[in-house]
């Protein structure tokens, strides 16, 4: 009988981390980290300017999972890579970049909820939408007195 190998994750100290503001910022950081790694740099957690809540491979795994579940297609990945290497998102005002912008936006919209759920990206603040009868709960203030 084969012996089961038990995996025990490394304990990391509770450090203050700075989540990304959005998926685009996370993606551009991932591309820079990958290019540095490809050039021979060694990565060590906590040595950057900001302590991030993930490793670059965590973002890659999220994109890979979206691709395997057919939420992203090869066109999305090619656009993400091309503009990521440029460190500049596509400009929708340029005719040659309109399709790239649509694919870029769609890919990041699909990636962002996953990154938010994992704590990699800061959740967006959302204000409650007024209901159908919002005017019934509205308060009017006039001259310092409530009506």
What is the band of 16 on the pLDDT scale with cuts at 50, 70, 90? confident
The answer, yes or no, to whether residue 25 has pLDDT greater than 90, is yes
| Domain presence at residue 87 | yes
| Domain presence at residue 4 | no
More confident residue, 70 or 147: 70
| Domain presence at residue 135 | no
**How much is the pLDDT for 17?**
85
| Domain presence at residue 1 | no
Our count of domains for the chain comes to: 1
Report yes or no on whether pTM surpasses 0.85: no
**How much is the pLDDT for 41?**
72
| Domain presence at residue 142 | no
pLDDT in tens, 79-129: 999 999 999 999 999 999 999 999 999 999 999 999 999 999 999 876 666
DSSP state at residue 4: P
| Domain presence at residue 62 | yes
Q: Where are the alpha helices (DSSP H) in the chain?
A: 23-38, 56-68, 74-86, 98-117
Structural domain of residue 31, as residue ranges? 23-117
| Domain presence at residue 74 | yes
Which residue in 90, 126, 125 sits closest to 108, CA to CA?
90
| Domain presence at residue 43 | yes
Q: What is d(CA 24, CA 35) in angstroms, rounded to the nearest whole number?
A: 17
């Amino acid at each position: 009988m084969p012996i089961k190998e038990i995996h025990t994750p490394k304990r990391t100290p509770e450090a203050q981390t700075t989540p990304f503001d959005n998926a685009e910022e996370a993606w551009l950081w991932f591309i820079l980290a990958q290019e540095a790694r490809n050039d021979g740099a060694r990565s060590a957690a906590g040595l950057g300017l900001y302590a991030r809540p993930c490793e670059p491979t965590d973002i890659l795994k999220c994109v890979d999972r979206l691709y395997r579940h057919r939420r992203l297609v090869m066109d999305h990945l090619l656009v993400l890579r091309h503009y990521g290497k440029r460190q500049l998102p596509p400009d929708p005002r340029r005719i040659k970049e309109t399709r790239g912008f649509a694919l870029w936006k769609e890919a990041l919209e699909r990636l962002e909820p996953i990154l938010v759920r994992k704590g990699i990206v800061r959740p967006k603040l959302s204000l409650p939408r007024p209901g159908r009868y919002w005017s019934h709960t509205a308060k009017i203030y006039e001259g310092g007195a409530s009506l």
